[in-house]
Structure formats: C-alpha cells, structure tokens
Copies of this chain bind each other. A is one copy, B any other.
Amino acid sequence: MKIITFGEVMLRLSPPGVERFTQADSLTMHFGGTEANVCVSLAQFGFQAAHVTRFPDHALGKAAAGYLRKYGVDTQYVRYGDGRLGLYFLETGAGSRASQIIYDRVDSAFARIIPSDIDWESILRGADWFHWTGITPALSQGAADCLLAGIQTANRLGVPVSADIVYRSNLWQYGRRPQDIMPALTEGCTLVLGSKGLFSDLYNVVGSTFQEAGRAMMKRFPNIRYVTDTKRVSVTASHNQLSAKLFDGHSVYKSRLHDIRPITDRIGTGDAYVAGLIYGLLTFNDLQRAVEFGAAASALKHTIPGDVNLATIAEVETLASGDTSGKLKR
C-alpha cells in the first residue's frame, strides 16, 4: 500500500522527565507533526509511506528529514528552502499537573510553501490513500492552496482522502477563517475525523448525535463514506480513558474502552488512531476490527516517548483483542 501525507513537521523540545521549563538544562529532541505522525505509523506497519513537506535548507531541516527516514518514511518529495524550522516546546505534566505546549512555528519554511513546489500528479499517481488535517490550511494561504491542489489531484486519480479536521483557534493568522477554507477541502474527503461540535462550527452541519451529525456530513459532502471520532476522559495527566467510534452511513462501530495508565507521552495519540484506522480500512474487510485496531494503536502510543507511534502490528492486535496484560516477551 502506498500512502501520501502532507503537512508541517516541527522540532519538538522537551525538558527531561517531568521537569518544568524553568528547571531544564537540556531539551530532548523529537520531530513531529500531525500528518507526519500518521505517515510514520503507517510506515511502521509496513506500508510504503511518503510525506510531503518543506524544510529549511540547513542542518536542522536535514535532521528532520533524517528522523522521518529513520522510521521508514520516504522523503523524496521533501522540498528545502528559506524560512525557519517550526518548533514547539513541550513540558510534560503528571497527575493533576497538565502538560503544556509553547508553539513557535510562525513563518516556518512550511508556511512559505507554494503550489509550484509540489508536483501532486507524480506524487499521488499509484497512491492508495492521501491524508491531511485542519492544521495545514490554518498555517498560510500557500499551504491551503497546496492542500487544495493535492486533494483535487487525489480525487481525479481516485485516491481516497482522509482528514482530521482539527481546529486550533490560535492558528489561522493569515486572514482567512476556517469556515471559508475548510468546506472546499472537505468536499474531496472519503473519511473525516471530527466531533459534532466541529461539524457545526466549521460547516454549520448539525446533528443531535454523532450518528446523525455524521449522516448530515455525508449529505453535505457526498464523497464522505466514513465519519469517525475518539472520546477521551482525562482523569489526570497520567491516566486517561479512550475509545473510538466509526460511522459508515449505516452503523456505528465502537471500540472497546482503553484505560490508560501510566501515560508516558500523550502527544500524537490521535494521529496514532487515524493511522491505525487507515491501516485497518485498507487491510481488514471488517469495520469493527478496523476501529478496534485504531483505538488500540492510539492507546499504545500513550506508552511511547515522542510524537510518533512505534507500536508493531502484533502489539496493536494483542491489545485490540483485549489483552492488556503487558506480559514480558522473551
């Protein structure tokens, strides 16, 4: 299977363990971005997965690409140019102390991307899936333009398109509102991850239950075949409960509930769900199994440092089948 993802990749910098920013003497490095996280997961599951992005043309940009390659991502479509590397600083909480992120991604090399940087035709030809999120069109007009071109190309080539329509109000600084931009992008989607609330806010699509809201989305955007979402109960920063559901227009498939503690790293757990679900949809002929696979992948991601999910298929399947024991494997 060949997967294409598109979006910004940031350098993540975190104090060791649960130190506060003011205590730190060093910062641990990871790289991540919601779309690239999905790409790494799918590469780890054995898919051929390429990420499309733009990095600054210096050693840190190259280090970012090296990080993706290390975890199996094809970086041949990465472009290098001016601008900075997007950053985010993550302080990891514990118990009732929340984790905190300080974003520092303004005017990144990715935000300066323009449509002529990307030859979508050659990238998407032969692909089996294209994934994007609501972060990308929030960053710059150029990024939004590139994305629209990518979705339209995917549609023309018959490549299924998924979107995590996440909305972050502190992005969207370039003068457009998500309500102006997101609908045209969502038109081309096969699978949408989002909540009732978001459907209403972004598209004015309303439904009293997830199922009804999903049905309304499918009516408004006829390309959509699947609507999905996760539900998280945050007991403390070290203890969450997670489940997922998938609606195919007929039935809602709900995953088991995962009781997750301790939490090593909560970042990228939503992306791990998306990747697990895509893997499941492309591999199993069984929607229940697909949503279980996605939810279990997400649960396992909570145990792995960094943004990307490095759980193996075997590990995900063990948990998806309900075995939470974590018994030592020799």
| Residue ranges of A at the interface with B (Cβ–Cβ < 8 Å) | 13, 16-29, 58-60, 62-63, 66-67, 69-72, 84-85, 87, 89, 91, 93-104, 106-107, 168, 170, 234-238, 258, 260-264, 266-267, 299-300, 302-306, 310-311, 315, 318-319, 323-330
Residue of B nearest to A105 (CB): B84
Between A and B, 11 residue pairs with Cβ closer than 8 Å are: A17-B305, A19-B305, A22-B66, A22-B70, A93-B303, A96-B324, A97-B300, A101-B328, A236-B324, A236-B326, A262-B262
B-side contacts of A19, CB under 8 Å: 305
Residue of B nearest to A326 (CB): B237
Q: Does the CB pair A101–B329 fall under 8 Å?
A: yes
**Cβ–Cβ contact A328 & B98, under 8 A:** yes
The 9 residue pairs across chains A and B that have the minimum distance between CB atoms: A237-B326, A70-B70, A21-B59, A234-B325, A97-B303, A66-B70, A94-B303, A69-B69, A96-B324
Contact, CB under 8 Å: A84 / B67: no
How far, in angstroms, from A235 to B325 measured CA to CA in the complex? 5
Q: How far is the CA of A101 from the CA of B329 in the complex (A)?
A: 6
A214 to B326: give the CA distance in the assembly, Å.
30
- Chain B residues with CB under 8 Å of A29's CB are 24-27
Contact: B18 with A329, CB < 8 Å?
A: no
A26, B26: Cβ atoms closer than 8 Å: yes
Nearest chain B CB to A295 CB, angstrom units = 12
> Are B58 and A95 closer than 8 Å at their CB atoms?
no
Do the beta carbons of A330 and B103 come within 8 Å of each other?
yes
CB contacts (< 8 Å) of A71 on chain B: these are 22, 66
Which of B28, B95, B102, B329 is within 8 Å of A303, CB to CB? B95
Taking CB atoms, residues of chain B closer than 8 Å to A106 are 84, 107
A23 touches which of B95, B310, B325 (Cβ 8 Å): B310
The reply to whether A305 and B18 contact each other, CB–CB distance below 8 Å, is yes
Please tell me if the beta carbons of A234 and B300 are within 8 angstroms of each other in the complex: no
Decide yes or no: A97 and B311 within 8 Å by CB, A19-B305, A305-B18 being known contacts.
yes
Bound form: Cα–Cα A51–B311 in Å: 26
Q: Which of B18, B100, B234, B311 contacts A264 (CB 8 A)?
A: B18
Contact (Cβ within 8 A) B234 A21: no
Complex CA distance for A97 and B328, rounded to whole angstroms = 9
Contact A100 B324 (CB under 8 A): no
Q: How far is the CB of A86 from chain B (nearest CB, A)?
A: 10
* CB pair B60 A21 closer than 8 Å: yes
**Beta-carbon contact of A102 and B326 below 8 Å:** no
Residue of B whose beta carbon sits closest to that of A265: B18
Chain B residues near A302: list those with CB within 8 A. 95
Q: Beyond A25-B25, A95-B264, list 17 extra A-B contacts (CB 8 Å).
A: A20-B304, A21-B62, A22-B59, A22-B66, A22-B71, A23-B305, A27-B27, A87-B87, A95-B302, A96-B299, A96-B300, A99-B326, A235-B324, A236-B324, A236-B326, A237-B327, A238-B261
